[in-house]
Amino acid sequence: MTTQQIIEKTRSQRIGNKPVVVLPLEVWYKIENELENLEMMRSSTIRGKIAKARSERKTYTSREVKKMLSL
């Protein structure tokens, strides 16, 4: 969804003297998801944890996974 499409779906209203922008929930969820992705990409701590997890390559048997998940 482009910025132009988002702007077309928004409405502005006034509550009291303050302007308020109303977005459809699907648009808000997309914005929220993009903000989380951006925050995650900028965080050196999270990037380090992801890199460490990817490098470990430990494998588990199905029995071990069931035990971990209490199945």
Element (H, E) at 22: strand 18-22
**Contact of 58 with 68, CB cutoff 8 Å:** no
| Intra-chain end-to-end CA distance of the chain, in Å | 41
Q: Which residues contact 27 (CB under 8 A, 6 or more apart)?
A: 1, 6, 9, 10
pTM: 0.45
pLDDT in tens, 5-42: 777 777 777 888 888 888 888 888 988 998 988 888 88
| CA 50 remoteness from chain centre | 16
Q: Span 32-59, mean pLDDT? A: 86
